Homo-oligomer: A and B are copies of this chain.
Amino acid sequence: MSGRKRVVVIEGEDAAPEAMRPTVALVDRLGLPIDWVRPAEGIDLVIVRENLEDLYVGVEGDLSALRPLALSSPMARRPVADLGPGRFALKVITEEGSARVVRFAFELARRRRAAGRPGKLTCATKHNMLPATDGLFREVATRLAASYPDVRFETFIVDDFARRLVAEPQALDVVVLPNLYGDILSDAAAGVIGGLGLAPSGCYGDGYAYFEPAHGSAPDIAGKGIINPTATILSAAMMLDHLGFAPAARRLEAAVERVYADGRPLTPDQGGTATTLEFAAAVEGYLR
């Protein structure tokens, strides 16, 4: 991470199921539908991820349970219930959920444009294979684009987008994705810029928001005092922003960036030998 290299990623879903459930439950209880990710060398992109729908509605079952619907697969030319023994899961995309996250992303792109960034929104879906569900998400985004003529809007098929994210991340600004693609590709974005230890995240709802590092509980280094606190500190900066303390957020981010520019007090994941507290003390030093 340098002054031109920043990352933000999603909640700790790499952790074990038990460790993750509370986060999902919290997202649900507070009605927080929107999650985002901001990776970065000359890279400064934000991934806005819908966070309540898609395959995360938690509806699965045996294929035989679908028999009453007489659904048929046009690809397999057989009733779905006869494809098994096997299981199904439901992917759900709603107009309201799609509009909410896309509007959030357009507003963010507009604010970033005002702050001198490109002000572009990229939407990626698998609308060619999933015209009803992903097609709806893309259709809602395309419709809303008309209300944001100042924001450049583009769409890609999600597999093509995955290649672009890895090969040309500098070309991206704000990205909006359905839940599952956002989950997978925000981690890929973290890989592009140097790891989850650098990636803060925010989860935004209508009445609430919460902020946390994107990484999980990292049991392999628990108790060693060497975890990289960058993601946690940058999550705090995102919270300050949300609460209306933008100057304080910028100061905190600048202090973190100066630690990386210094290059000495880095934790082991960044090739240094500093402890978590030594890193934090260095940030504090640059805050004074």
Residues of A with Cβ closer than 8 Å to B? 13-14, 16-17, 20, 24, 28, 52-53, 55-63, 65-66, 68-69, 71-76, 80, 83-97, 126, 128-134, 136, 157-160, 162-167, 180-181, 183-188, 190-192, 194-196
Contacts and interface: CB of A to CB of B under 8 A. Distances in A.
A173 B87 CA distance: 29
A82 to B, nearest CB: 10
Contacts of A192: 166
A76 B60 CA distance: 14
Given A69-B69, A180-B180, 9 more contacts: A56-B75, A57-B73, A59-B71, A59-B73, A80-B92, A83-B92, A88-B91, A162-B188, A164-B191
A88 B90 contact: yes
A204 to B, nearest CB: 18
What's the number of copies of this chain in the assembled complex? 2
B187 A162 contact: yes
Given A159-B183, A184-B162, A195-B167, A92 B97 contact: no
Contacts of A83: 53, 57, 92, 94
Contacts of A180: 126, 180
A128 B181 CA distance: 16
A192 B166 CA distance: 6
A195 B136 CA distance: 29
A182 to B, nearest CB: 9
Contacts of A97: 86
A68 B68 contact: yes
Contacts of A188: 162-163, 165-166, 188
7 contacts: A55-B126, A59-B71, A60-B131, A86-B96, A86-B136, A166-B191, A180-B180
Nearest to A195: B167
A196 B159 CA distance: 11
A165 B163 CA distance: 12
Contacts of A24: 75
Nearest to A216: B160
A89 B86 contact: no
Contacts of A72: 59
